[in-house]
Structure 1
Amino acid sequence: MTYIRETCGCCDCEKHCGALDIVFVIDSSESVGLTNFTMEKNFVISTINKLGSMAADPASPTGTRVGVVQFSHNGTFEAIRLDDSNINSMSAFKTAVKNLQWIAGGTFTPSALKFAYDHVIRDSKRARARVSVVVVTDGRFDPRDSDNKLRYLCDDPAVVVNAIGVGDMFDERHDNENLLSIACNKKNRVTEMKRYTDLVADNFIEKMETVLCPDPVIKCPDLPCKMEPDVAQCAERPVDLVFLVDGSERLGVENHRLIGEFVQTVADRLILARSKTDRRRARIALMEFGRESENYVAFQLTHDPEVIANGLSSLRYLDSSSRVGPAIIHAIDNILGKGNARQTRRNAEVSFVFITDGVTDSSVLEEAVNTMRGQQVVSTVIATGSDVDQAVLQKLAMDDQDAIFKGQRFSDLVRSSLFDRFIQWVC
């Protein structure tokens, strides 16, 4: 793709997979957890990103269309339909997926498969289109649901089913027999993985790209680039964004100033919550960290632009060493809070944004990352330059390569392309 990009100019070439209908069926039950459910959504988005262009008109007989079914207990199934006239671009699809809310109920997998076929596939599938279904679950389901429906999708020979079984947040093993039934007894279409982070790993996304689109046609644009419209800036769902800024001596005074400008620009771009009790829109907090005892909270989670501006203006450069593990624990204890003192909003996506090069004392990093997972925190990493510790960045991003944003210089952070991608990602 590097050669193609250089040959065609500023725009990436588009991958065309022919007439293809893809339906993701994702587990939104309580045992999955909010963090893992968010990873399921990121998996869907990352996979479709790899597949290239979508059909501009969902009613078109050609092109790729995508649907999503999220399921929990009976009666809670929700769908993004293949023929939804509003899903006519990648941006529209990403927004629809990100707006899916974790249901956190029981698990009626067989009924969800029947729902997917009856309500998303059967009446909207196209005559010449291949239909691929990707089911993500831990493989177990409520015994009140009928296991006769596990093979419901197998009754249509035009539908190919891939089953992905992931150990859930309680580290229970998925039920292999159920997965095999979902995949119509085809072992080569069953994938088992231990953690949800494996779901968004680059190598697995690339594997799914090949499975879903084995013979793509690559087309390069003849015209100047057309930018996709911005995704709604966290307007339709609650997002609590916590910036963790590495204030170590490697940063430098000027870069420290540029980070402040970046965070201010983020605050200006996002649609902030209207009140403390607003159940939608964004709130922001920021903490700067250095050595273990240096964790400075510039401002707690807030929707108030004045509080954000004042906190950033008084942010001092620590010029210290760096220990990110204790900083994570400090942020969880003192910004998110625990129990009755929890400061995050109900059903809010809690996102930690690390601004660091990863060169840090990582002695308790594993424990801290596990604590993040336990607190349902989603992470994003911003790093600049080439002198970075990629292993630490990867660990902070919980093995999601797409969650790592890199620029050459801190001044790049507010450039339109990198900045817009970051905003779309966190929203």
Structure 2
Amino acid sequence: MTYIRETCGCCDCEKHCGALDIVFVIDSSESVGQTNFTLEKNFVINTMNRLGSMASDPTSATGTRVGVVQYSHNGTFEAIRLDDPNINSISAFKMAVKKLEWIAGGTFTPSALKFAYDTLIRNSKRERSKVSMVVITDGRFDPRDDDNLLNYICSDAKVEVNAIGVGDMFGKMQQTETLLSIACNNKKRVTEMRRYADLMAEDFIDKVETWICPEPITVCPDLPCKQEPDVAPCTNRPVDLVFLLDGSERLGNENFRHVGELVQRVADSLGLARSKIDRMRARVALVQFGKEREHTIAFPLTHDPTLISAGLEGLRYLDSSSDIGSAILYTIDNILRPGEIRRFAELSFVFITDGVTASESLEEAVSAMRRAHVVSTVIATRGDVDQAVLQKLVMGDQDAIFQGQEFSSLSQSSLLNKFIRWVC
């Protein structure tokens, strides 16, 4: 019994939401981008992980059922149905979601909403169940589509619709009016955010949980369970994390040593992939850069703690000038090569720099990051940073800039924990 408890997780408490049907409608158009589409799927999975249990029989009058519609242009809509007899557990649902592939076409949001209601809800509603729909899109859609369908679902008072609007991979912000129509003109059910990575924030998933299941009943097994350690943060989704270390003379030898300790701490805390073929969890790489064409790969994307430690130990401080633009282009060409990155993994660049750098190729490099669907973060500690450059590196997302007082204390501070939660 002890073995069963420790391996199957049967000691975990579960949230029961009563008779509840949940439908996620996720935008799979070209403007979303493959990395962001993966984040949408991970958001759906993480949200359901929070709820904890599903109806073992989809035809039952009680329990939670969940469905998903992914859409792009007309005729491409795909559905995981609420009443699919094969979706009878959280694990079965996760597997079905992971199999969804980015369509990368146009955007027929109004028609997709009609499809979601007609296909998943209209004929499979249960008499006493609450129906909650969560729509994720940037709000734009093909003008050939029928905009009268945006509030198609609003005619059914038993369905509650929440719209999440996210800026797309081209940096365009969401269309608020469209989102409001989707949410049946209820401003409280419209949430806007700048980037898809924000879907993974713990406080946001907390918020979504209250939308879907505002008054859960928590059921715990009556077993003398062994307390398990906390799960590493990146275990629930694939993240490929590349550190770009500014090895210029402004860093200094002492800070260079502290940066190595910081990277080691992060690698130890993330939850590294278990093998070369592991499609989940984290892998890490480190590139040190100086002036143009002065780049050193300490270690490529890897899950191997030994390789990471050896790479850090063998890395020598460049003590040079700084050219971030050329470093970004070098990293994309040499670290993100075809066959080296995992399908559906979030590509994350972490810049350790003060932003004082040559600027000739910076715009080109930032555009290249966008094309590669890279999510970027900055760690900076000096007071005299070039804020304009840091803003460019994070593509305007101020929340993605982590600033501390000094490197010597960074790996021991709450800032490190906040950073790890951010990238995971």
TM-score by length of 1: 0.65
1:69 is matched with which residue? 69
- Deviation at 1:161? 1.1
Return closer, same or farther for 1:99/1:333 CA change in 2, 3 Å cut-off. Answer: farther
Match status 1:90 vs 2:90? yes
Question: RMSD of the alignment, in Å?
Answer: 5.1
Say whether the 8 Å CA contact 1:71–1:108 is kept in structure 2.
yes
1:203 is matched with which residue? 203
Return closer, same or farther for 1:97/1:316 CA change in 2, 3 Å cut-off. Answer: same
Counterpart residue type for residue 155 of structure 1? S
Say whether the 8 Å CA contact 1:300–1:335 is kept in structure 2.
no
Taking the aligned partners of 2:163 and 2:268, their CA distance within structure 1 comes to: 45
2:5 is matched with which residue? none
Match status 1:318 vs 2:315? yes
Return closer, same or farther for 1:317/1:221 CA change in 2, 3 Å cut-off. Answer: farther
2:143 is matched with which residue? 143
Taking the aligned partners of 2:190 and 2:267, their CA distance within structure 1 comes to: 47
- Deviation at 1:67? 1.3
Match status 1:376 vs 2:338? no
- Deviation at 1:63? 1.9
TM-score by length of 2: 0.65
Secondary structure in structure 2 of the residue aligned to 1:117: helix
| Equivalence map 1:91-240=2 (5 Å) | 91-223=91-223, 224=225
Say whether the 8 Å CA contact 1:249–1:319 is kept in structure 2.
no
Say whether the 8 Å CA contact 1:31–1:170 is kept in structure 2.
yes
Counterpart residue type for residue 376 of structure 1? H
Say whether the 8 Å CA contact 1:240–1:301 is kept in structure 2.
no
Taking the aligned partners of 1:43 and 1:188, their CA distance within structure 2 comes to: 20
Secondary structure in structure 2 of the residue aligned to 1:269: coil
Secondary structure in structure 2 of the residue aligned to 1:44: helix
2:28 is matched with which residue? 28
Q: Which has the larger radius of gyration?
A: 2
Taking the aligned partners of 1:107 and 1:214, their CA distance within structure 2 comes to: 32
Counterpart residue type for residue 314 of structure 2? Y
1:286 is matched with which residue? 285
Say whether the 8 Å CA contact 1:290–1:318 is kept in structure 2.
no
Taking the aligned partners of 1:322 and 1:121, their CA distance within structure 2 comes to: 62
Return closer, same or farther for 1:258/1:218 CA change in 2, 3 Å cut-off. Answer: closer
Superposed CA offset, 1:188-243 (max 9, x none):
3223334334433333322221121111112222234799xxxxxx9xx9x89455
Say whether the 8 Å CA contact 1:27–1:71 is kept in structure 2.
yes
Counterpart residue type for residue 122 of structure 1? R
2:3 is matched with which residue? none
1:47 is matched with which residue? 47
Say whether the 8 Å CA contact 1:335–1:343 is kept in structure 2.
no
Counterpart residue type for residue 65 of structure 1? R
Alignment counterpart, residue 249 of structure 1, candidates 245, 253, 257: 257
Structure 1 stretches lacking a partner, 5+ long: 1-8, 228-233, 273-279, 382-391, 401-407, 410-421
Return closer, same or farther for 1:61/1:343 CA change in 2, 3 Å cut-off. Answer: same
Return closer, same or farther for 1:124/1:380 CA change in 2, 3 Å cut-off. Answer: farther
- Deviation at 1:171? 3.5
Say whether the 8 Å CA contact 1:287–1:295 is kept in structure 2.
no
2:330 is matched with which residue? 334
User: How many positions carry a matched residue from both structures?
Assistant: 362
Taking the aligned partners of 2:28 and 2:74, their CA distance within structure 1 comes to: 12
Taking the aligned partners of 2:291 and 2:20, their CA distance within structure 1 comes to: 52
- Deviation at 1:34? 2.4
Taking the aligned partners of 2:159 and 2:119, their CA distance within structure 1 comes to: 14
